[in-house]
Structure 1
């Protein structure tokens, strides 16, 4: 049935004139006439179909005629649209957005849709388009409905299509929403996130962080405030308009008096900026946790990841110094539903606090600090119940977890899947034993350090060889001219050895290592090297296995690795890595 026939059908059912429909829909009689005669068809990206459906429903209600809901009427019109109404570039862009944001494996959806994976990839890049776009988009809807059932997944999908599907329980209704969005030629650019800037800032903060400066600054602050005599009540409530400021100022003093060495627990269902609009007091609040780190206290924190990725990373940036100390464990709770109030709570054996404010305005703030034993027991039970629902958000490896780190890499090397690394310099696994020995010699490396570096290099070679038996490994790094080398001398990439000192090359050694890397790429079919001049961090290596994990590694103090497996964070880093891609290195490139 064509659009004109569906419109005529409704006019006949309603026994109305074109003029009546014109008045009800607020569309001109001439436009209604063109639609009715098939001289014109409305565009899916306009609100015309909704106006028609609303007007038809209004006339039906006035005449007491059962005709279905407005949405039913809209869908009946949409069902008449042919592929000729679809902008294939926009359709492909939306399909690609779903695949990347939801971290959908092309082979998986191709199998579900009964297509060849290469054909799906060509649809994604607008090189091909489905014979029946509407049927294709409906099948994508069925795949999404049956694959992504969690509220956090539905929230992510809602952010993509800018229409909530969280409460949609009927597959038919869900599929209609997805199909309508995919077939519409409307593009909302506000949903596009600049992952490059967000992740770049995140990585730069990790790269530039100095642990000694961090601890020294907060130690001096603590000594200064601790010298001021203060008497603290066993509990205190804050409900005034200045509650946040007074609460934060007092909390710092409470933290100074808290001598607990046991682990502490913190949970917030929104980013801290929701509670502390004033940056000064937000920083003071964060300083309270820094005091715990100075005392080597383990901090356990639950983040809310049911937020747009930029909000998630904003919150995580706040905690970067804590992550880099290795004294913080991060968790998340799936399906946290936003309520009327933002709230957070903290528990330690000697101090607990609770806070909340109105989500919409930040007003109506309430905060409470307690050191009363019975109340501490209550908050302990409450916090245990919260953490029982939590899952690890990331894995953090420091030098004391060297074995765990390589156990992960070794086991993962057995799994199929393309791996991708963006390095600040040449990869460790391509260096020869003789070149490595020479570099270690002229850098006067101690025997113990030498053994660890050589052992790590051997482990890396085995892991790469294992993974390249069945999967691709793509390494990207800058290629330096002599002038560039002298201006900013690179060092051996030793993050995987947790070695924090600088071991430098000569330019001749650098060229030799580069040539060894090219030869390795020639020898190993699944090993690919690319030139990447866009990476600016000197001490950061980012690696990934597509759709599985992303690893962010820092080589200089503190040497540390962050393993991200959660889809929201992993996807953001993978897009960032894709943005940094450059040209494939020519095997015979002259420098």
Structure 2
């Protein structure tokens, strides 16, 4: 939410008029009106923000008003009036939405991830598998014990299995105990080392933070290429929550809970063949209603990724891209040839790939808006050859750096594109950002997120809530005003001046 939306929200739930707030804050009613409509924005340190917060904390007195406020600000209902005032000030002055912060945290966390380490040899043992066909274990500790027994049962099989996993119960049981988390991760890596594949249905009705946290948690396992994530695209009431962990023909863990009763819920560890088949059918019926959450590509999946990227780029929708440096879409043929001339043992010829993408790019920007977010590096880094070519770890198997002439030619081509195509824009940012990822989003279509730090991994996502969150992240990074009212002439002037500095 922007400041104007937050102010309007507070005024509506407290039934406050422009005149009453202006009188309390010693401001003109027309100024309040402009703030509320977004025609004016508060400057840093404006004292009236504190005065407004004090007003709203006092006038939010009814229980229903407080409930709405607590839920919106995601704060405790036990705050004093003074503490509530401080929280309102913090909320009003925070220009970054929770979604922006969640996406930023997600990107920094996946950049640090590495694939789960596969054991060189699987040595079953050190665990006890119940002999009975059905065991009932209670609460979170019971769920943990059931899952350990389940994975242990999978391990002792003499062939790899295809596991089916779904849970919309809270995931704290998996992450809140470090000892259990380590044991679970170790067993799961041993299961995957046997060649086991996993289909998992994620719950996207969780809030964005929890959804992104779940993906980060599974990222080391995703990077093995053995896991297929899916999601159910429609809303569910969320009253009854269900967990299904199934190894077809072998074992299953199932549980059901209502609200927060997971601490008391019964968890059933099943080994009866007929019962396992029944819950497998339950999973399959639900699975048929689901869509792929994302496709996952490692560096070894170059061709599959490039085919997916090409299909993605065929979609005609407004687009924003942010890479580690400059996007490959705007790289001229002369720079492509120069870079390829320095690379030996390249497993494929990317020239046709680049040519097809460039033709499609130029065709699309006649009908859509395409924005690239660029942070210009220190000129000395360019001169010293310390600026990485975007995506080089994935395309070339290692980091490739621009020579100074190559980087200059790439920038000059961007200037030419800005002059030639009214639909192409560049947002220049000065704030330092994490250079270990790439985001390429198309509004209401989907996005591609690449972890470009070693080892690289690419996620192709089309779930609408995640697409919207990453789109908002990019527009906020670019600057809402800069994105919505691009000024190509100003950008061209800045780039030409920067190029002159590089050539000096």
Q: Could you tell me the TM-score, scaled by structure 2's length?
A: 0.71
> 1:397 and 1:276 mapped to 2: Cα distance?
26
For residue 295 of structure 2, the aligned residue among 384, 395, 414 is 395
Task: Give the secondary structure class of the aligned counterpart of 2:347.
Answer: helix
What pairs up with 1:94-133 in 2 under 5 angstroms? 125-126=38-39
* Number of the residue aligned with 1:462: 359
Deviation per CA, 1:194-247: give whole Å up to 9, x if none. 223321221123323223xx224xx26x74x63547565254332378424433
Alignment of 1:533-544 (within 5 A): 533-534=430-431, 536-544=433-441
8 Å CA contact 1:456–1:496 kept in 2: the answer is no
Among 290, 295, 317, the residue aligned to 2:216: 317
| Counterparts of 1:488 and 1:310, CA distance in 2 | 38
CA distance 1:459–1:539, change in 2 (3 Å): farther
- 1:512-591 residue pairs with structure 2 within 5 A? 512-534=409-431, 536-555=433-452, 558-581=455-478, 585=491, 586-590=494-498, 591=501
Partner of 2:149: 250
Q: Report the Cα distance in structure 1 between the residues aligned to 2:351 and 2:414, rounded to whole angstroms.
A: 17
Displacement after TM superposition at 1:47 (Å): 7.5
- Cα pair 1:398 1:498 within 8 Å, conserved: no
Deviation at 1:543, TM superposition (A): 1.0
Check if 1:445 corresponds to 2:353: no
Which residue of 2 is the match for residue 297 of structure 1?
196
Distance in 1, Cα, partners of 2:101 & 2:478: 15
Runs of 5+ consecutive residues of structure 2 not aligned to the other structure: 1-10, 17-28, 41-66, 73-87, 483-489
Say whether the 8 Å CA contact 1:429–1:464 is kept in structure 2: yes
Which sections of structure 1, spanning at least 5 residues, go unmatched?
Answer: 1-42, 49-83, 93-124, 128-157, 164-185
Alignment root-mean-square deviation, CA: 3.9
What is the match of residue 264 of structure 1? 163
Give, in angstroms, the shift of residue 422 of structure 1: 0.6
Pair 1:199-2:97 in alignment: no
Q: Which moved more, 1:566-575 or 1:503-512?
A: 503-512
Find out whether 1:386 has 2:286 as its counterpart: yes
1:180 match: none
Out of 221, 227, 252, the residue aligned to residue 352 of structure 1 is 252
The 8 Å contact of residues 207 and 538 in structure 1, kept in 2 or not, is answered as no
SS in 2 for 1:313: helix
Distance 1:86 1:279 in 2: 53
Relative distance call for 1:45 and 1:195 in structure 2 (3 A) is closer
Contact preservation (8 Å) 2:411, 2:495: no
Matching residue within 324, 331, 334 for 2:230: 331
Tell me the secondary structure at the aligned position of residue 577 of structure 1. helix
Alpha-carbon offset, residue 435 of structure 1: 2.8
- Match for residue 334 of structure 2 among 406, 422, 434: 434
Larger radius of gyration: 1
Q: Residue 424 of structure 1 aligns with which residue?
A: 324
- The answer as to whether partners of 1:428 and 1:493 remain within 8 angstroms in 2 is yes
Q: Find the aligned partners of 1:319 and 1:299 in 2 and give their Cα distance.
A: 12
What is the CA-CA distance between 1:490 and the residue it aligns to? 2.9
SS at match of 2:274: helix
Counterpart Cα distance in 2 of 1:439 and 1:275 = 46
Cα distance change of structure 1 residues 201 and 295 upon mapping to structure 2, 3 Å threshold: farther
CA–CA distance in 1 between the matches of 2:408 and 2:104?
Answer: 29
Q: Are the aligned partners of 2:392 and 2:399 in contact in 1 as well (CA < 8 Å)?
A: no
Structure 1 residue 401: deviation in Å? Answer: 6.2
Distance 1:277 1:304 in 2: 19
Distance in 1 between residues matched to 2:376 and 2:444, nearest whole Å: 28
The aligned counterpart of 2:180 is 281
2:124 maps to which of 226, 229, 234: 226
Say which SS state the counterpart of residue 497 (structure 2) adopts. Answer: coil
- Cα contact 1:471–1:526 (8 A) shared by 2: yes
Task: Report the Cα distance in structure 2 between the residues aligned to 1:545 and 1:160, rounded to whole angstroms.
Answer: 33
Give the Cα–Cα distance (whole angstroms) in 2 for the partners of residues 322 and 299 of structure 1: 10
Q: Is contact 2:150–2:251 with CA below 8 Å preserved after alignment?
A: no
1:32 corresponds in structure 2 to none
Q: In structure 2, what is the Cα distance between the partners aligned to 1:439 and 1:553?
A: 21
CA distance in 2, matches of 1:279, 1:375: 32
The residue number in structure 1 matching 2:117 is: 215
Greater RCO structure (CA 8 Å; 6+ sep) = 2
Equivalenced residues, count: 422
* 2:378 corresponding residue in structure 1: 481
The CA distance in 1 between the partners of 2:12 and 2:407, in whole Å, is 58
Q: Where does residue 268 of structure 2 map in the other structure?
A: 368
How many Å apart are 1:523 and its aligned residue?
A: 2.9
Going from structure 1 to structure 2, the CA distance change for 1:369 and 1:498 (only over 3 Å counts) comes to farther
